[in-house]
Amino acid sequence: MKQEDGSWKYRKEDGTMAASEWITHLNRRYYLNADEIMCTGLSMVNGKLYYFESWGGAGYKGWKKVGGAWYYLNEDGSVKTNEWFVHDKRTYHVDENGVMSTGLQKIDGTLYYFESWGGAGFQGWKKVGGTWYYLNEDGSLRTNQWFVHDKRTYHVDADGVMSTGWQTIDGVDYYFESWGGMRVNAWAAKGSDWYYMDSNGTPKGEGWLLYDKNWYYLRQDGKMMHSEWLWYDNNWYYLQSWGGMYKSQWVTIKGATYYFRSWGGIYKNGWQEVDGKTYYFRSWGGIYKDTYIDGYYVDKNGVRRNSKNICVAIDAGHQRRGNSEKEPIGPGSSTYKAKVASGTCGVATGINEYELNLAVSLKVRDILEERGYDVYMIRETHDVNISNSERAKLAVQNGADILVRVHANGDSNQSVYGALTMAPSSRNTYLSGDVVSKSQKLSQKMIAAFCKDTGAKNRDVIYTDSMSGINWSTIPVTIIELGFMSNPSEDRLMATEDYRNKMAQGIADGIDAYYE
pLDDT tens-digit readout, 252-301: 999 999 999 999 999 999 999 999 999 999 999 999 998 888 878 888 89
Return the SS3 of 354: helix
CB distance 131 to 161 below 8 Å: yes
* End-of-domain residue from the set 58, 78, 98: 78
Give domain status of residue 15, yes or no: no
CB distance 101 to 69 below 8 Å: no
CB distance 291 to 309 below 8 Å: no
- The DSSP H or E segment spanning 421 is strand 419-423
- Tell me 472's DSSP state: T
Q: Give the whole-angstrom CA distance, residue 476 versus residue 450.
A: 18
Give domain status of residue 57, yes or no: yes
Q: What CATH code is carried by the domain that includes residue 460?
A: 3.40.630.40
Give domain status of residue 107, yes or no: no
Q: Give the whole-angstrom CA distance, residue 407 versus residue 480.
A: 6
Q: Give the whole-angstrom CA distance, residue 186 versus residue 224.
A: 12
Instruction: Write down the pLDDT at residue 251.
Output: 98
**Left, alpha or beta for 322 (phi > 0: left; psi -120 to 50: alpha)?**
beta
Give domain status of residue 456, yes or no: yes
Concatenate the DSSP letters of all residues of 124-136 into one string. EEEEETTEEEEE-
Residue 108 has a CB neighbour count (10 Å cut-off) of 5
| CA trace torsion 13, 18, 22, 26 (10° rounding) | 40
Instruction: Write down the pLDDT at residue 76.
Output: 83
Q: Give the whole-angstrom CA distance, residue 388 versus residue 386.
A: 7
Q: Which residues pair with 230 in a beta bridge?
A: 237
Give domain status of residue 191, yes or no: no
CB contact set of 330 (below 8 Å; sequence gap of 6+): 429, 430, 465, 468, 471, 472
Give domain status of residue 146, yes or no: no
Single-letter amino acid, residue 326 = K
Q: Give pLDDT tens digits for 108-136.
A: 888 888 887 877 767 889 888 899 999 88
CB distance 483 to 417 below 8 Å: yes
**Left, alpha or beta for 312 (phi > 0: left; psi -120 to 50: alpha)?**
beta
- Tell me 232's DSSP state: E
Give domain status of residue 493, yes or no: yes
Instruction: Write down the pLDDT at residue 39.
Output: 85
CB distance 7 to 38 below 8 Å: yes
Q: What CATH code is carried by the domain that includes residue 55?
A: 2.10.270.10
Instruction: Write down the pLDDT at residue 109.
Output: 87
Residue 497 has a CB neighbour count (10 Å cut-off) of 9
CA 425 to chain centre: 62
Phi/psi at 138 (5° precision) = -90, 5
Instruction: Write down the pLDDT at residue 78.
Output: 85
Instruction: Write down the pLDDT at residue 299.
Output: 84
Q: What percent of the chain has pLDDT above 70? A: 98
* Angle value at C-alpha 191, between 185 and 195, nearest 5 degrees: 25
Q: Give the whole-angstrom CA distance, residue 115 versus residue 102.
A: 6
Count Cβ atoms within 10 A of the Cβ of residue 125 and give its class: 0-12 exposed, 13-18 middle, 19 or more buried: middle
Return the SS3 of 512: helix
Q: Could you list the residue range(s) of the whole structural domain that residue 391 is in?
A: 307-515
**Based on the structure, what is the number of domains in the chain?**
2
Instruction: Write down the pLDDT at residue 239.
Output: 98
Instruction: Write down the pLDDT at residue 1.
Output: 64
Residues of the chain with pLDDT under 50: none
Instruction: Write down the pLDDT at residue 503.
Output: 99
Q: Give the whole-angstrom CA distance, residue 466 versus residue 336.
A: 10
CB distance 40 to 49 below 8 Å: no
| pTM score of the predicted model | 0.54
Select from 379, 373, 372, 371 the least CA-distant residue to 395.
Answer: 379
Strand ranges, E, within 192-310: 193-197, 207-211, 214-218, 228-232, 235-239, 249-253, 256-260, 270-274, 277-281, 291-293, 296-298, 304-305
- The DSSP H or E segment spanning 91 is strand 90-94
Q: Give the whole-angstrom CA distance, residue 95 versus residue 113.
A: 14
* End-of-domain residue from the set 78, 107, 122: 78
Give domain status of residue 386, yes or no: yes
CB distance 414 to 485 below 8 Å: no
